[in-house]
Chain A
């Protein structure tokens, strides 16, 4: 599903250049639930953003579902993000003036799906994350866990091939975190490919594979015995 080879990325800070990713090679099969681990500043988010086409690599190749991601125009990148990817952020990134339902429906708006169908589909995803009763509420009327559930519903709504989550439990207490991870596991069990960036060991243990990042390279990549989140709730 995802295949990257020799990926490099540096940031320019004034005259200096900060080499963050120094040749990353890895691939993800369909249906995997992978966590990218590493200490703060190790380049996890940078990697995820490149995978999400929110940022570009300096060097290396990237194939997503067999399509080479290279020199994309803004328009094509937008189209790929819309069709292939679903994002979940630490800070939720919901649009604050839109209701939970409208937030979930937004990816479908950019797929040119008509309003009626948009609302029906969005509603079914809200039901899936257990927030059907909160459909009309604005984000600031929801708890952190509820916001993240809305964000997950939104990431699912566009029916993407891959879901990318950056520290999705970073702003939540541990009970809520496990509830969210339980939801992620359920979605993965249905066959969805999911990449989770985290620096928390317990969260990583709830995935099926841990990729360890240090100083811009992968130092460890292994499959693990998945810890079921429900057991910890």
Chain B
């Protein structure tokens, strides 16, 4: 089928019919180019939206304690439950692999803090390094609490933007000592938080430091963690519910709380908020899939139209060839061979131009809702292959009809 002789014949036809080749190639190449750009922008839009709404994507779960509500195993109601470090260990041991970010938290609601003659009262939180991501605290200067701070209970703190403004004004806070409840701490970082002033009026330190310095022993106020983003809201919801019920049962058993008690162990879950996010990304995906499919369809229709025109234009030639002894399959082969070759080459050219454009122009368009537009190479290649195959299938019918036409009728054609 793909003999050298046929190739020579095809190259001759391509070479001598430059306009036809150019028009076919051009429309295929632009079709693929548009498709690639569309897919790229679609992906970029999805990325952009995901970035914008990432806060909502995370299924953040917080576990905190209260007072028992019912009698259980001889213990009276009204008993206060207190989490310890080993409750956090229990979480990590049993569910560590399923969690995205996790931290134990100890909190002091008011901590008088001063630097030189300036002072203010801020919320103090003892946390683990992961907490930065749980809070989505972005570092403006320095760093967040790290593993070393936790391991050595260092007296390093990270302060909110608001705290920095009130205590330091425009001076550099890094490395400076501030006094919290009469104890000196060194500032190692400043963070900002999308939550605004309220969230930025906080001071973070390692939880081990806090427990030591403020006499909290092994106490923990709450366990805070997130579950990773899932394929769909339903999957996320199911995983979240499973984890929560298992964790609740474990913690209740550990603290001798009745399974029916609903005030001693409290779990708050933000998953309902994430439904909006999942719906939005699903819709964006769907939208661009539809546009992509529509443009692919348009491409296929375009290619088949070109094939129809080519066969029509070549009818007389087909008649001549048949009079000279061309078999029907050789006519079909000739037409398809040329069209597949031209579609494939120009398709890949369109693909490459599209990918290059996305590669170099893509990073320049970073608007709020489009970020990092790109196309998976596999998807792009598949599109070209689908288009070439579709073109071949669509081209087969006019080619076949051309091959079947009586030579005498084909010769009459002008």
Contacts and interface: CB of A to CB of B under 8 A. Distances in A.
Interface of A: 49, 52, 54-55, 74-75, 78-79, 81-83, 87, 89, 93-95, 97-98, 102, 106-107, 109-111, 114-115, 154, 158
Given A78-B325, A110-B325, A114-B5, 15 more contacts: A49-B408, A54-B408, A54-B411, A74-B327, A74-B403, A81-B322, A87-B324, A95-B317, A95-B321, A97-B13, A97-B16, A102-B12, A106-B321, A107-B325, A110-B326
Contacts of A54: 323, 406-408, 411
30 contacts: A49-B408, A54-B408, A74-B328, A75-B328, A78-B327, A78-B328, A79-B327, A81-B325, A82-B324, A82-B325, A83-B325, A87-B323, A93-B316, A93-B320, A93-B411, A94-B320, A95-B317, A95-B321, A97-B12, A97-B17, A98-B12, A98-B16, A107-B324, A110-B321, A110-B324, A110-B325, A110-B327, A110-B330, A114-B5, A115-B8
A85 B327 CA distance: 15
A74 B316 CA distance: 17
Interface string B387-414: 0000000000000000110111001000
B5 A89 contact: no
Given A54-B406, A75-B327, A109 B320 contact: no
A232 B247 CA distance: 113
The list of the 9 closest CB pairs from A to B, nearest first, reads A82-B325, A97-B16, A110-B325, A54-B408, A78-B327, A54-B407, A55-B408, A107-B324, A74-B328
B324 A154 contact: yes
B169 interface: no
A109 B408 CA distance: 21
Nearest to B327: A78
A75 B326 CA distance: 8
B9 interface: yes
A39 to B, nearest CB: 21
A19 B328 CA distance: 30
Contact of A74 (B9, B321, B404): B404
A109 B334 CA distance: 13
Contacts of A107: 324-325
Contact of A55 (B8, B16, B406): B406
Interface string B1-27: 000010011001100110000000000
A97 to B, nearest CB: 4
Given A54-B406, A82-B324, A110-B324, A89 B411 contact: yes
Nearest to A49: B408
Contacts of A94: 320
A115 B5 contact: yes
A49 B410 CA distance: 13
A78 B12 contact: no
Contacts of B13: 97
Nearest to A94: B320
Contacts of B328: 74-75, 78
Contacts of B329: 75
A95 B411 CA distance: 12
A111 B323 CA distance: 13
Contacts of B327: 74-75, 78-79, 110
Contact of A81 (B5, B317, B324, B411): B324
Contact of A109 (B9, B16, B317, B403): B9
B12 to A, nearest CB: 7
Contact of B323 (A52, A74, A75, A83): A52
A52 B323 CA distance: 8
A156 to B, nearest CB: 12
B320 to A, nearest CB: 5
A109 B326 CA distance: 9
Contacts of A49: 408
B320 A81 contact: no
Contacts of A95: 317, 320-321
A111 B325 contact: yes
Contacts of B320: 93-95
Nearest to B404: A74
A95 B324 CA distance: 11
Contacts of A110: 321, 324-327, 330
Contacts of A83: 325
Interface string B286-328: 0000000000000000000000000000001101111111111
Query: Most chain-A Cβ atoms within 10 A of its Cβ — which of B316, B324, B327?
Result: B324
Contacts of A89: 411
A62 B137 CA distance: 94
Contacts of A154: 324
A201 to B, nearest CB: 27
A55 B323 CA distance: 11
Nearest to A92: B320
Nearest to A87: B323
Contacts of B407: 54, 81
A94 B323 CA distance: 11
